[in-house]
Amino acid sequence: MPTAQTTVDDGEIAKFEAMAAEWWDLNGKFKPLHMLNPCRLDYITTQIAGEFDRDLKSDKPFAGLRILDIGCGGGLLAEPMARLGADVVGADAAAGNIPVAQIHAEQSGLEIDYRHTTAEAMAAAGEQFDVVLNMEVVEHVASPIDYLRACHDLLKPGGLHVCSTINRNPKSYVMAIVGAEQIMRWLPKGTHEWSKFITPDELFSLIAEAGMEPVDRKGFVFNPIAWSWKLSDRDLSVNYVTASLKPA
């Protein structure tokens, strides 16, 4: 097996280690993710169902699929995937997140394989998945292209990669950093670095360079009046999500 390289940014990991105990606090530091989660899940489940011809109204529609949630945190996405019947592996480079995720899964009666590891290490070990979920992670790694190459290697031929991140423009600075961190204080100051944000065109280019075929992208748009998120085909100005395939 090739030697596993790492794209882990130790400074970024330290930020999330400090917040690990608050993953399941609906009003804690991860409140923005809890608010966004229904919208994320809508996109993810629709993409998986479409790609693998699954009926979301059936019992355990994702049975037989092996799904990796890389950068799983406390398990906000891994748990719904397990409830839908998938064989789920949740991996995170921040060691403190894993026991939080494990305890919550046990309390919820769910079997999820949580691991303190990296995408690169799993790829070097020859792990393969039908789906790789890569949500709000790529803006925190040291080398996005090397990280995406590892995600490519983790997919089976024909596998689905779902990746979300934050656009880089003046609006995203105002919304994601000034608004979320400094005014609303949903996140600790310094959680994000604007310079690490990636535009949709840049991400599509990186995904293609990593060997995957981009097939879709949509925006996550926050409505401050309804206090909720929705998917948008046109507005990718701040938060957005992409889907891509590994050639069969």
Q: Tokens 């406390």: give the residue.
A: 74
Count the domains in the chain. Answer: 1
Percentage, residues of the chain above pLDDT 90 = 72
Which stretches in the chain have pLDDT values below 70?
Answer: 1-5, 13-21, 179-181, 183-188, 190
- Enclosing domain of residue 112: 10-246
Residue 10 annotated as lining a ligand binding site: no
Residue 85 annotated as lining a ligand binding site: no
Residue 216 annotated as lining a ligand binding site: no
Q: Is residue 233 part of a domain?
A: yes
Supply the CATH number for residue 23's domain: 3.40.50.150
**Number of residues in the chain:** 248
Q: Is residue 38 part of a domain?
A: yes
What secondary structure does DSSP assign to 74-103, as a single string? Answer: TTTTHHHHHHTT-EEEEEES-TTHHHHHHH
Q: What is the pLDDT of residue 210?
A: 98
Residue 135 annotated as lining a ligand binding site: yes
Q: Is residue 3 part of a domain?
A: no
Q: Is residue 134 part of a domain?
A: yes
Q: Is residue 218 part of a domain?
A: yes
Q: Is residue 238 part of a domain?
A: yes
Q: How confident is the model over 31-48, as pLDDT tens digits?
A: 778 889 999 999 999 999
